[in-house]
């Protein structure tokens, strides 16, 4: 779904536009040609004409005709995911019901029940608007229910999102940030889970291009500069392997491919290294032409050849042949020591496995036809269905729970009888207990992992064998919620706690009833509402529970007025205090609050600088309206940014720094270097003496010839900080200088 532009920004005349649309349509037909059965071409044409006519007055933000968007989405579905004719028709129609006069009835009349159901699912998804977070979670549940009915809905939605990401340039900056954050937060993990690695990678890279443009450009530039020497190295690495494959008469394609910019950046952040020190900038891939019955055997043969030639790192072997991932991914991964002492990642798979890796779920189905094996996907969908149907209506944690439960990588854990259970990474013994059965989960008191006794909060690892110990006296406890990660466990624990609360509350209900009757009133809903509101509680259940556990003694009821059998709470005395609510459009007088200029001492807007990322003038930032706290400024690469932008887009204010050298901002840097006499002197002379920057605190620790320094200092803006970092790096013996990104710069 797109926002429609008011004014065209590109200059094709009507005739040229028609030619362009026709060219794109023919290009789509070419892609699905091999899948067309008799009568299909006519249906596709009908869908195209229907969509073209419905969208004829609409334009995209770039100014081009809107119909080019559904055409592009259909092409991604067919070409990059490998979906068929029905999905192509649904892609062409995916925005019609929501944006034009076409109804589901019209679609049903032309194309039948199945296509109507998918388009209906896509229309529901299009309404995932950020009215508020609970509404968003609610809508996301609808998507997931549709996903479990027909996964094509989500595959088309992912194609739609990918095309929007590819054409994000013509959007406003705040829209780019919101869409990119949502993509990274929900859609990329979903693509990964559906097995669409290529699409997931591209989504992450494109999101990074908008969220961290400087870093993105820098890594892209360095990748381009090192392409030549990488190619040379890859060829040198591959040569002996290729010879071995030919000798063994194993037909295979072997090549190197660069890692994505986003994954290189992740590695740099995780390991705290510079681009030049990221060793695996590329992966080597060996793709074998093997018959199905010899696939495993051949992959291990190739593994043996590679490890004969190069030394493997034993802890980096990943065997997804014996135990494929839940999204169907099968392969052998290993990391070996290549020429010039460089570690190289090698992925070994067959043509069939490769197609599943590239096309995910769609390819998985293609190969599943005719087999009786219940697919891992089906199990996954079944788990989602179970959780959604048991979920509370408005739980805001739902999106977060869903991410940790269903979008995380999984581990494989065994029951005492040897049955395998799939759980997300980070699962505990208690998650495992709930995975077996809810009734076992709530009675769990401990577990044996690999025959050793462990607490229920013990984190499990792939390959663990787990036996659950239960007791009929055990009851669910509130603190269980802090260490379980699966949605099923969380949902069941909440249910059990509520049930427990209900039993206790029954006692309180009786007390409230007696009290009301003593006042000459009835236990009516009106009267209960008055009491609940007076004590600022959430529900009748809360009231009864608080009375039962003696947190509320109902003494205040004697101040209530009784009329007939109705009671009325006394009116609270109003204190007159002025409250300034920050609303974005108060700042600029414009409806959409394009800019908030701040940083000047004359500013009247009250704002806080977020502690999680400590922004300073010059950083790429956005404003976030927090309930009760007004405006908080975060950096766009803040650890919390993706969540805030994706879930609460309506509270985001586009923000820009004003030039100002009056105010100093607290920031922090960490320095690593060789421990040398006078090193502290050199550093402080440079900061305070030469650059006249005020140091707030400094700690230096030396260990085995290396020193680590933490410095808190006041700078005017990012420019000043960058100059400082560059100057420090020029000092002899300084290895690295980095700005603190995370919470709480060390004191």
Residue 635 contacts residue 167 (beta carbons within 8 Å): no
Distances (CA, A) of 705 to 672, 676, 733: 11, 8, 11
Residue 422 contacts residue 208 (beta carbons within 8 Å): no
- The answer to whether 246 is a known catalytic residue is no
DSSP reduced 3-state for 123: helix
SS3 labels along 555-602? HHHHHCEEECCEEECCCCCCCCCCCCCCCHHHHHCCCCCCCCEECCCC
Residue 394 contacts residue 400 (beta carbons within 8 Å): no
**Active-site residue (options: 17, 40, 79, 99):** 99
Residue 700: which residues within 8 A CB-CB, separation 6 or more? 679, 680, 707, 708, 709, 710
User: How are beta strands 694-703 and 252-258 bridged, if at all?
Assistant: unpaired
Distances (CA, A) of 202 to 198, 207, 212, 213, 264: 6, 8, 15, 15, 13
**Active-site residue (options: 79, 98, 386, 600):** 98
The tally of CA atoms less than 13 A away on the side-chain side of residue 675 is 10
Find the helix or strand (DSSP H, E) in which 714 lies.
strand 706-715
Q: Give me the phi and psi of 565, to 5 degrees please.
A: -110, 20
From 128, 126, 121, 127, select the one nearest 86 (Cα to Cα): 121
Beta-bridge partner residues of 428:
459
DSSP reduced 3-state for 158: helix
Q: Give me the phi and psi of 682, to 5 degrees please.
A: -60, -45
Q: Give me the phi and psi of 715, to 5 degrees please.
A: -125, 160
- The answer to whether 559 is a known catalytic residue is no
Q: How many CB atoms lie within 10 A of CB 470?
A: 16
So which residues are the catalytic ones? Answer: 98-99
């Amino acid at each position: 779904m797109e926002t429609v532009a008011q004014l065209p920004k590109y200059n094709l005349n009507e005739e040229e536009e028609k030619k362009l649309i026709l060219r794109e349509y023919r290009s789509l037909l070419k892609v699905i040609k091999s899948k067309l059965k008799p009568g299909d071409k006519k249906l596709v044409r009908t869908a195209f004409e229907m969509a073209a006519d419905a969208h004829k007055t609409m334009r995209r933000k770039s100014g081009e005709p809107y119909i080019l968007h559904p055409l592009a989405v259909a092409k991604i579905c067919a070409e990059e995911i490998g979906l068929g004719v029905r999905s192509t028709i649904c892609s062409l129609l995916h925005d019609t019901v929501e944006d034009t006069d076409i109804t589901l009835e019209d679609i049903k009349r032309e194309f039948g029940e199945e296509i109507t159901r998918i388009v209906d699912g896509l229309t529901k998804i299009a309404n995932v608007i950020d009215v508020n977070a609970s509404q968003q979670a609610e809508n996301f549940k609808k998507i997931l229910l549709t996903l479990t009915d027909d996964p094509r809905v989500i595959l088309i939605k992912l194609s739609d999102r990918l095309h929007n990401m590819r054409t994000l340039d013509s959007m406003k900056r705040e829209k780019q940030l919101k869409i990119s954050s949502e993509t990274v937060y929900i859609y990329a993990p979903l693509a990964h889970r559906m097995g669409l690695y290529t699409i997931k990678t591209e989504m992450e890279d494109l999101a990074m291009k908008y969220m961290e443009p400087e870093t993105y450009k820098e890594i892209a530039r360095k990748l381009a500069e090192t392409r030549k020497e990488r190619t040379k190295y890859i060829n040198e690495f591959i040569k002996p392997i290729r010879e071995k494959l030919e000798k063994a008469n194993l037909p295979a394609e072997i090549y190197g491919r660069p890692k994505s910019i986003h994954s290189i950046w992740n590695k740099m952040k995780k390991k705290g290294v510079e681009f030049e020190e990221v060793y695996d900038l590329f992966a080597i891939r060996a793709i074998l032409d093997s018959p199905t019955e010899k696939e495993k055997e051949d992959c291990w043969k190739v593994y043996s050849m590679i490890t004969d030639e190069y030394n493997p790192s034993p802890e980096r072997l990943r065997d997804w042949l014996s135990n494929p991932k839940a999204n169907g991914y099968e392969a052998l991964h290993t990391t070996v020591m290549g020429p010039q002492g460089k570690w190289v990642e090698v992925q070994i798979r067959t043509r069939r496995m490769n197609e599943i890796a590239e096309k995910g779920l769609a390819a998985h189905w293609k190969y599943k036809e005719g087999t009786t094996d219940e697919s891992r996907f089906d199990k996954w969908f079944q788990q989602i269905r179970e959780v959604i149907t048991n979920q509370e209506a408005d739980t805001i944690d739902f999106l977060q729970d869903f991410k940790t439960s269903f979008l995380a990588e999984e581990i494989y854990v065994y029951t005492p009888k040897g049955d395998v259970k799939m759980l997300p990474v980070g699962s505990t013994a208690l998650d495992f207990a709930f995975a077996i059965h809810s009734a076992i989960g709530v009675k769990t008191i401990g577990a044996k992992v690999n025959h050793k006794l462990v607490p229920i909060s013990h984190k499990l690892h792939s390959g663990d064998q787990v036996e659950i110990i239960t007791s009929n006296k055990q009851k669910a406890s509130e603190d269980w919620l802090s260490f379980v990660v699966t949605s099923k466990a969380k949902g069941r624990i909440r249910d059990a706690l509520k049930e427990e609360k209900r039993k206790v509350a029954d006692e309180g209900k009786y007390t409230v009833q007696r009290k009301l009757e003593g006042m000459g009133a009835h236990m009516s809903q009106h009267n209960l509402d008055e009491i609940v509101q007076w004590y600022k509680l959430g529900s009748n259940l809360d009231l009864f529970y608080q009375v039962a556990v003696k947190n509320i003694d109902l003494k205040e009821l004697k101040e209530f007025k009784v009329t007939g059998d109705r009671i009325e709470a006394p009116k609270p005395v109003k204190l007159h205090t002025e409250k300034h609510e920050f609303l974005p459009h108060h700042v600029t007088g414009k409806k959409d609050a394009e800019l908030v200029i701040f940083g000047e001492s004359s500013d009247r807007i009250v704002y806080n600088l977020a502690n999680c990322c400590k922004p300073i003038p010059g950083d790429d930032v956005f404003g976030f309206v927090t309930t009760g706290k007004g405006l908080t400024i975060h950096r766009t690469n803040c650890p919390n940014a993706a969540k805030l932008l994706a879930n609460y887009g309506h509270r985001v204010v586009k923000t820009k720094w004003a030039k100002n050298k009056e105010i100093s901002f607290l920031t922090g840097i960490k320095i690593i270097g060789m421990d040398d006499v006078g090193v502290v002197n050199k550093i402080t002379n440079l900061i305070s003496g030469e650059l006249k920057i005020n140091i707030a605190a400094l700690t230096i620790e030396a260990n085995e010839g290396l020193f680590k320094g933490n410095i808190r200092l006041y700078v005017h803006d990012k420019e000043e900080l960058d100059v400082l970092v560059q100057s420090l790096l020029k000092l002899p013996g300084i290895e690295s200088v980095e700005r603190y990104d995370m919470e709480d710069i060390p004191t």
